Amino acid sequence: MSQSSQSNAQQEQIAVPAGAAEEQTRLRILGGFWKAVVVLFGALAIFLSLNQLLNWGFFIGFLLLDTAYLYSLGALLIGLVFLYVPATEGAPRNRVPWYDVVGFLLATGVFIYFAVNSHRIISEAWEFMAPETAVAVSVIGWLLLLEATRRSGGTAVFVVVGLFSLYPVFAEVLPGPISGLGQDFSTTMAYHFASSESVLGIPMRAFGELVIGFVMFGAVLQFTGASEFFNNIAFALFGKVRGGPAKVAIMASGLMGSVSGSVVSNVLTTGVVTIPAMKRTGFSAKYAAGVEACASTGGVLMPPIMGATAFVMAAFLGIPYGQIALAAAIPSILFYFALFMQIDGYAARHNLKGLPAAELPALRETFKQGWQYIIVFVVLVWLLLVEQIEALAPFYSTALLLAINQFSPKYRLNWTKLVNLIMGVTASLAELAALLAGVGFIIGSMSVTGLAGTLANDLIYLAGNNVYVLLVMGAITSFIFGMGMTITACYIFLAIVLAPPLIQSGFDPLAVHLFMMYWGMVSFITPPVSLAAFVAAGVAGARPVEVGLQSMRLGSSMYFVPFFFVLNPALILRGDPLDVVIVIVTAVIGLALISSALEGYLVKVGSMHHGFFGALARLVLFAAGLSFAIPGGGDIGLSHIELTTTGVILAIAAILMARFAQRASLPPLKGA
């Protein structure tokens, strides 16, 4: 196959899932009048955001309060969920039913009402003394926002958010640990919409100040050919090496996942190229799907973008996003390194080759066609980490990308492409705005009842004042909530409930928040839910449960690494420079040994699949890897030297056992 035809084939494979496959099965296809409405509202929302963040001054003579800005964003975006997302699976996809038109108009009207009255809300303290009209509008808004949350985030999010939104009404009659200061129904409803702690709480503020720009940047990257470029770069670099297609999946999915922030769309975008290529070169269907599931999940944890959750985290912690991106860099690299080592071991053990050079895109030609993406990413990282203007960085980067893109005949935007781009951006913004505003109900309920302050002490008491028990409780809780919620909704809930007691126990605040984000992501590759694995199984034609178990083994470092950086924050670059270097080096060695033990292949030693002693060698090698990877110092109580010495002794023992097992498995020599 020629390079051009290979590129075209990849482009065709990518085009369907990236632009349509996932969304067409779930979102309504809008045309005519409603398409015009969506484009208008989306364009106005982007303009409003630019005006607010860049101080364009289009509202001269009128002070647009931050609350009025957020209410206005809600009016422009949240109601669109009723147009985009059908109420049920059986609802029509090619037209907008009357009840969704009503929902759209009412939701838009509710937020317009509060935007218009934003000055009165503050001056007259509506959060506790709202007029009857405001209470009535709040009740309507509560019902509509719950439904919009259900459509955006699913039934599990709807149930949790719905119950918590009513918590203040029943807070006084609940048992001790979860009791709080009660409020009547009218006060609760008004507080949700009129205060700056609920619907307009941290999640919605993060959306208006940070997330909206990065969602737009990610969508523009998709529409300007980033998917093809990242895939072709990955194939050009790794396609012909041992286990090449699987290593391509790591690079391509890591890059695309960081941009898209969506695990499922990442699987559907890159997986349709990488999974068939892996199967062609000898990987089993379940292994290929497991690789893609893990690579796509890890992409959301990979800087510089990391999806919407990291920006919400920045708002919670009150620190620049750049600090979070730097802290997350080493753990995410360690995750991909461990995945790479397992893949390499599998390929070596099964003697799997890469793809023929004739079927791969040329690296020089690929760079020639997509060099602009490299420049844009460099500018984005510079603005984030050096200039530290995270709110404006995505807008400047998007403007640069669009300007450069107009010189590309293949991806140059015309009016049709521009409309489709705005439609895609608006759909993502509408669902995210509804989800974040709805999850704000949880924050509002805990704020107005005082539960947020008392729950931390109660959880510490339940853990018996044992910080390690509390940490395990946090991991299990994060995993359970991650099974039924989007990662952003899961993180927000845990940041309110679990972060305070963990931080109060002495753990580093940033490490705690990253810990919850990681463990909230674990459910994507862990049965019984393992959504990423199930989607990848559909692409690979494999059994979903088998893919889930396979992805769980391949992504095992995601279970260990969060504990490592919580116990010693040096792994997230917080601490003495020498300690940071030592912890990173030992973690790399440790994860290499753990990956080799899981795969049963150690570089320079060979296969460890030889009877009882081979299995014992893998077990000892796994223990050696843990000894290296667990960071010394911190809360561990053991020094780097003690742990490293233990790891060296165990690794030598494992190698000797593996050699013995290999010799014992050889057939006897003739004549011996």
For residues 315-344, give the mean pLDDT.
90
For residues 317-322, give the mean pLDDT.
86
Give the list of residues 6+ apart from residue 403 with CB closer than 8 angstroms, or none. Answer: none
- pLDDT for the residue 483: 65
Strand partners, 607: 601
- The DSSP output letter for 668 is P
pLDDT in tens, 88-112: 887 778 889 999 999 999 999 999 9
- pLDDT for the residue 2: 40
Q: What is the largest CA-CA distance in the chain?
A: 101
Nearest Cα residue to 247 out of 285, 186, 291: 291
Answer for the pair 619, 594: CB distance below 8 angstroms, yes or no.
Answer: no
Answer for the pair 411, 402: CB distance below 8 angstroms, yes or no.
Answer: no
Q: Calculate ∠ Cα 47-50-54, nearest 5°.
A: 150
Does 448 have pLDDT greater than 50? yes
For residues 458-467, give the mean pLDDT.
70
- The DSSP output letter for 631 is P
- The DSSP output letter for 27 is S
Mean pLDDT of the chain: 83
Binned at pLDDT 50, 70 and 90, residue 12 comes out as very low
**Token reading at 603:** 């570089």
Cα–Cα distances in Å, from 492 out to 109, 316, 372?
27, 9, 35
pLDDT in tens, 67-81: 899 999 999 999 999
**Tokens 């893949």 sit at which residue?**
343
Strand partners, 602: 606
**Token reading at 604:** 């320079």
Which DSSP string do the residues of 532-592 spell out, in sequence order?
HHHHHHHHHT--HHHHHHHHHHHTTHHHHHHHHHHH-GGGGT-S-HHHHHHHHHHHHHHHH
Binned at pLDDT 50, 70 and 90, residue 342 comes out as very high
Choose from 174-183, 241-250, 335-344 the range with maximum mean pLDDT. 335-344
- pLDDT for the residue 460: 67
- Report the alpha-carbon distance of residue 367 to residue 448 in Å, rounded: 55
Choose from 17-31, 261-275, 542-556 the range with maximum mean pLDDT. 542-556
pLDDT in tens, 557-584: 889 899 999 988 999 998 889 889 999 9
Please state the length of the chain. Answer: 672
Answer for the pair 123, 89: CB distance below 8 angstroms, yes or no.
Answer: no
Does 4 have pLDDT greater than 50? no
The torsion angles phi and psi of 331, rounded to 5 degrees, stand at -60, -40
pLDDT in tens, 637-657: 678 899 999 999 999 999 999
Radius of gyration of the chain (CA): 26
Cα–Cα distances in Å, from 556 out to 525, 533, 603, 646?
10, 14, 19, 22
Cα–Cα distances in Å, from 152 out to 91, 149, 273, 659?
15, 5, 28, 55
Does 62 have pLDDT greater than 60? no
